[in-house]
C-alpha cells in the first residue's frame, strides 16, 4: 500500500470523538428543554439558563468541602430543614442554593419555589436581598406570575418598620423589563393585595435611613428622592406606576 493510501487512525479517532461529543451535547440539551417545559419556567431567560447549564453535574460530597461561607439571603432555610427532620446530606443541595445570594433570576426562582415555603420566610428573604439586588436579578423580566407572588408576600407580611425597605423593593421592581405587561397580567387577588400594600404604606411613618445604613446602590436608587418630601413623592410615583386608584 502506498504512503498516500495509509489510513490515519488518529484523525479518525479524533473525528469520531468529536461526533460522539456533539451527539451527547444535542441529547443533553434536548432533554433539558423538555425538563424546562415540564417545570413551566416563568420566562425565556430561565428556559435558556436551564439549557445552558445542562452540562453541569451535581457535586459529590467530597466536592463540597472547603466551601467558603457567605452571608445568607434566606437564613431561615437551615432552621426550616432542621424542623422538618431533613438530614445534613439531604439538605446540602437546598442549603447551597439558599445560603448564597442568587446570581441569576433562575437561582432566585428555584430557591423561592423549593426552599422558601412560608410567607414570613419569603418576606425576610426579599428584605435581605433588597431592592437594588432584586432589580438587577430581574432587569430583563420579573417573569410570568412571579411579580404577583412578590406583591402578595409583601402585602401579607408587611411591618411598618420595613416601610423604607419595601418602597425600595417596589421602586426596583417597577424598573424591570416588561413591568407594565407583568402588571397587567396580575390576577384579581394579586391586584387586591397590591392595593392593600399601598394602603399600609400610606398609613406608615417612615424613618428615613441614614447614608451609612444604605449601600451605594441603594443611595443611587433613592438619590432623586433625597429631599425632605422625598417619601411622599416616591410613594405617589409608585402608586401611579402600580396603577393604584
Give tens-digit pLDDT for 7-23. 777 877 878 887 777 77
State the Cα–Cα distance between residues 176 and 182, nearest whole angstrom.
10
Asked whether residue 137 falls in the same domain as residue 21, the answer is no
Q: Between the CA of residue 49 and those of 6, 92, 111, 161, 231, what are the distances in Å?
A: 46, 22, 15, 37, 38
pLDDT of residue 101: 77
Same-domain check for residues 123 and 223: yes
**H-run or E-run covering 26:** helix 9-38
Q: What distance in Å separates the CA atoms of residue 228 and residue 234, rounded to the nearest whole number?
A: 11
**Is the pLDDT score of 127 beyond 90?**
yes
* Residue 85 resides in a domain: no
pLDDT of residue 193: 96
Reported confidence tier of residue 200, pLDDT bands at 50, 70, 90:
very high
Q: Are residues 123 and 242 in the same domain?
A: yes
Angle between helices 119-129 and 105-114 (to 10 degrees): 160
Provide the H-helix boundaries in 39-143. 44-52, 76-83, 88-99, 105-114, 119-129, 131-137
In a domain, 231, yes or no: yes
239, part of any domain: yes
The count of domains in the chain is: 2
Same domain, residue pair 148 and 231: yes
Can you give the pLDDT at residue 24?
Answer: 79
pLDDT of residue 36 exceeding 70: yes
Residue 216 has pLDDT above 90, yes or no: no
Mean per-residue pLDDT over the chain, rounded: 76
Do residues 154 and 44 share a domain? Answer: no
Is there a domain that residue 226 lies in?
yes
Q: Are residues 133 and 239 in the same domain?
A: yes
- Structure confidence at residue 167 (pLDDT): 92
Residues 53 and 126 in one domain: no
Shared domain check, 124 and 194: yes
C-beta of residue 78 within 8 angstroms of C-beta of residue 43: no
Compute the distance between CA of residue 25 and CA of residue 21 in angstroms, rounded to an integer.
6
Select the more confidently predicted residue: 38 or 125.
125
Phi, psi of 140 (to 5 degrees): -80, -40
83 belongs to a structural domain = no
Q: Which residue has the higher pLDDT, 173 or 31?
A: 173
pLDDT confidence of residue 37: 77
Q: What does the block give as the cell for 245?
A: 386608584
Whether the predicted pLDDT of 196 surpasses 90: yes
pLDDT of 89:
42
Q: Give per-residue pLDDT as tens, 43-102.
A: 766 777 777 776 666 555 554 444 444 455 555 554 544 454 444 444 334 334 445 578
Report the predicted TM-score, pTM, of the whole model to 2 decimal places: 0.59
- 122 lies in the same domain as 243: yes
Cβ distance 172 to 134 under 8 Å?
A: yes
Does residue 143 sit within a domain?
A: yes
Cα–Cα distance between 176 and 49 in angstroms, integer? 19
Asked whether residue 190 carries a pLDDT value surpassing 80, the answer given is: yes
Q: Which domain holds residue 33?
A: 13-57
| pLDDT tens-digit series, residues 130-145 | 999 999 999 988 877 8
Give dist(CA 78, CA 80) in Å, integer.
5
Tell me, yes or no, whether 3 lies in a domain.
no
Three-state SS letters, 164-218: HHHHHHHHHHHCCCCHHHHHHCCCHHHHHHHHHHHHHHHCCCCCCCCHHHCCHHH
Please report the pLDDT score of residue 154 as a whole number: 97
**236 found inside a domain:** yes
Amino acid at each position: 500500500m502506498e504512503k498516500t493510501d495509509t489510513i490515519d487512525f488518529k484523525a479518525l479517532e479524533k473525528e469520531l470523538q468529536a461526533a460522539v461529543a456533539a451527539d451527547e451535547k444535542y441529547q443533553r440539551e434536548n432533554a433539558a428543554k423538555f425538563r424546562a417545559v415540564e417545570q413551566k419556567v416563568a420566562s425565556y431567560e430561565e428556559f435558556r439558563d436551564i439549557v445552558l447549564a445542562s452540562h453541569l453535574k451535581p457535586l459529590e460530597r467530597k466536592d463540597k468541602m472547603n466551601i467558603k461561607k457567605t452571608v445568607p439571603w434566606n437564613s431561615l432555610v437551615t432552621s426550616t430543614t432542621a424542623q422538618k427532620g431533613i438530614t445534613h446530606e439531604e439538605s446540602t443541595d437546598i442549603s447551597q442554593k439558599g445560603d448564597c445570594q442568587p446570581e441569576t433570576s433562575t437561582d432566585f426562582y428555584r430557591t423561592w419555589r423549593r426552599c422558601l415555603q412560608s410567607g414570613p420566610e419569603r418576606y425576610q428573604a426579599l428584605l435581605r436581598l433588597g431592592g437594588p439586588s432584586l432589580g438587577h436579578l430581574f432587569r430583563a423580566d420579573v417573569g410570568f406570575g412571579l411579580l404577583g407572588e412578590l406583591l402578595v408576600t409583601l402585602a401579607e407580611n408587611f411591618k411598618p418598620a420595613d416601610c423604607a425597605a419595601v418602597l425600595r423593593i417596589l421602586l426596583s421592581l417597577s424598573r424591570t423589563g416588561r413591568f407594565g405587561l407583568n402588571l397587567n397580567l396580575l390576577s384579581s387577588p394579586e391586584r387586591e393585595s397590591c392595593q392593600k400594600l399601598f394602603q399600609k404604606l400610606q398609613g406608615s411613618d417612615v424613618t428615613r435611613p441614614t447614608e451609612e445604613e444604605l449601600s451605594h446602590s441603594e443611595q443611587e436608587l433613592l438619590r432623586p428622592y433625597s429631599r425632605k418630601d422625598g417619601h411622599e413623592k416616591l410613594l405617589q410615583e409608585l402608586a401611579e406606576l402600580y396603577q393604584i386608584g
